Amino acid sequence: MKRFRIFLVNGLILTATSFLMRLIGFSFNIYISKKVGSEALGVFSLIMSVYLFFITLATSGINLAVTRIIVEKTTFCENANTKNAMRKCFLYSLIFGTISCISLCLLAKPITYYFVHNRVSHYLFYFIAISLPFISLSSCLNGYFTALRKNGKNATSRIFEQTLKILATSYFLSFFMPSGIYYACLSLVLGEMISEIGSFLFTYVLYKLEIRKHLVNQKENSNYFKTILSISLPVAITSYIRSGLSSLKQLLIPVRLEKSGLTCSEAISSYGLISAMTMPILMFPEVIINSFSGLVIPEYAYYDTKKAHSKITYATEKIFRITFLFSIGVFGIFLFYAKEISYAIYQNFSIASYLKILAPLIFFIYLDGIIDNILKGLNQQLEVMKCNILDLFSSIFFIYFLLPILGLNGYILIIYFSELLNFSISFYQLKKLTHFKIDFINWLVKPFLGVTFSFLICKLFVSTLSLTMSSIIFQIIMFICGYFTFLVLSKSLKV
């Protein structure tokens, strides 16, 4: 019961913090999209696709390695030895962060020419490369606090990072704008770089204050570096493949869209419209379950260490029940109120059709994120990576051959194929390990009836489309209340 209370408190802290940060960041992204336009957002998304690959190289699985090592130490009451382990983890992070930084600088020119269409200067990649060693070290520290279940410190660090990012980016945008796409992207890159460096320094101070509690510094015969490599390198290698394929996938989309008859500017704008404007909205509610999702890794690692198979199955069923009910409710909101949401955010209907078309994927995307973290906690991270790699290979194949023929419609079909494939394989892997059971009536049938019931009831009160902000908020709140009431009355929420 004590472990559950700690889990619940940490989850609530992270959920509240993440929701606040996502809301602030989301609002800031809307401000940016209005200020720089969909084309600049598309170019920046391409830059970030490259950046994410080099972040993967910089971190190289260190977060998971730190979490598992520190969980093992605390489980067996070896807290005093965490200092020695963390020193080796820091060294590992610094080595890979530096390698990543140098690699990005060396490849900046060809990347800019072949994949960013020379829309911006390669100097942007030099700026963003500076942050890579700091990101690697921050990942190490975040893994430490996650293992200790002191996620409030990770949350505080995220608040600091987001605040710094907003302030820095706003300053540079006001200084450089309006001066074209290059300066818009430069402002975003500099804000990213400064926030990552500041976040590391802040988190490191928190770490130094925490590590002082372990006053004894015993020497061990354990080869920590060997342990770190045994956990992180298998994950890192598959992560390189996955992240590299993911970056290639994103970079290919505007290139192949051009082959369908769009100009370079139109292709990048369309890519930005879906990837940078529509998908972030669909993913926004996930923050509510994402915080708890991240916490399941150390919890499942603990149960796995104790061989508590019955507890693993029980916990999986409870987590799935909540995720099913939540994701179906969110699906209903985006399906029935796509126009209102699009207008409320962008003052136009530019993404309304995309929100409605992609809304059914919410269920699979949210649940797949939960499954991946459970599998990682059960030391099945390699299986997760294999699934993701298969998904990416398939997506790249279809992007290359379908987009020139089908254009944007092909892009949407590929998004569906990718998410459904990834979910199906992950779900099958977890089913083999835990043998949990799905309550189709209470987890699927009743929730889908609930969203339909709630929408029909709301239409009785609001029969015409109203685009005032107060009316939109009122309609969505009514829908949520109706859905929740239906779940209570139908006993779907019964534990």
Span 287-319, pLDDT tens digits: 777 766 666 777 787 777 777 778 888 888 888
What is the distance, to the nearest Å, from the Cα of residue 218 to the centroid of all Cα atoms in its chain? 38
Closest CA to 493 of 328, 299, 284, 376: 328
Q: Provide the token pair at 323.
A: 């995720």
The per-residue pLDDT for range 374-411, each reduced to its tens digit, is 888 887 877 887 888 888 889 999 999 999 999 989 99
**Residue 215 confidence (pLDDT):** 47
User: What angle do the packed helices 408-434 and 224-258 form, to 10 degrees?
Assistant: 150
Asked if 454 contacts 486 with a C-beta cutoff of 8 angstroms, the reply is: yes
> What's the pTM?
0.74
CB pairs under 8 A, 24+ apart, for 84-88? Answer: 84/217, 84/218, 84/219, 84/220, 84/222, 84/224, 85/224, 85/227, 86/140, 86/144, 86/211, 88/224, 88/225, 88/228
Confirm whether 490 is domain-assigned: no
- C-alpha 299/C-alpha 312 separation (Å) is 9
Return all residues near 441 (Cβ < 8 A) that are at least 6 apart: none
Beta-carbon contacts of 89 under 8 Å, excluding residues fewer than 6 positions away, are 62, 65, 66, 69, 140, 143, 144, 224, 228
> What is the total residue count of the chain?
495
User: What tokens does 213 get?
Assistant: 């509690």
Model pLDDT, residue 74: 65
- Crossing angle of helices 151-176 and 181-211, in 10° steps, is 150
Residue given tokens 């489309």 in the structure block: 465
- Sequence-distant (6+) residues with CB within 8 A of 177 are 35, 36, 183, 184, 187
Q: Is residue 392 part of a domain?
A: yes
Are the C-beta atoms of residues 219 and 84 closer than 8 Å to each other? yes
Please report whether residue 34 resides in a domain. Answer: yes
What is the pLDDT, as a whole number, of residue 221?
Answer: 45
Judge whether 10 and 149 are in contact, CB under 8 Å: yes
Q: Residue holding tokens 């269920």?
A: 363
Number of structural domains the chain divides into: 1
Count CB-CB contacts under 10 A for residue 345. Answer: 20
Report yes or no: 46 and 116 within 8 Å, Cβ to Cβ: yes
Spatial distance between the Cα atoms of 264 and 259, rounded to a whole number of angstroms: 10
Tell me how many degrees the CA angle 30-31-37 measures, rounded to the nearest 5. Answer: 80
Asked, for residue 124, whether it belongs to a domain, the answer is yes
Which residue's entry shows tokens 């015969």? Answer: 221
The verdict on residue 330 lying in a domain is no
Give the per-residue pLDDT at 29: 74
**Neighbour-count burial of 380, counting CB atoms closer than 10 A to its CB (0-12 exposed, 13-18 middle, 19+ buried):** buried
- Report the alpha-carbon distance of residue 419 to residue 395 in Å, rounded: 10
pLDDT at 18: 67
* Residues 6 or more apart in contact with residue 238 via CB below 8 angstroms: 382, 385, 386, 389
Angstrom distance (rounded) from CA 271 to CA 269: 5
Query: Phi and psi (nearest 5°) for 162?
Result: -65, -40
Q: Are residues 154 and 145 in contact, defined by beta-carbon separation less than 8 angstroms?
A: yes
**Element spanning 363, H or E:** helix 361-377
CA distance 33 to 209: 39
Q: Decide: 405 and 332 in contact? Cβ < 8 Å.
A: no
Low-confidence ranges of the chain (pLDDT < 50): 215-217, 221
pLDDT at 197: 95
Provide the 10 A C-beta neighbour count for residue 461. Answer: 10
| Residue 96: Cβ within 10 Å count | 23
Q: List Cβ neighbours of 15 (8 Å cut-off, separation of 6 or more).
A: 287, 288, 291, 292
For residue 486, is it within any domain? no
In a domain, 458, yes or no: no
**Are 492 and 443 within 8 A, CB to CB?**
yes
Please count the other Cβ atoms lying within 10 Å of the Cβ belonging to residue 2: 6
Residue 364 lies in a domain: yes
Is 402 within 8 Å of 414 (Cβ atoms)?
Answer: yes
What type of residue sits at position 142?
N
Residue 425 is part of which domain span? Answer: 2-306+360-438
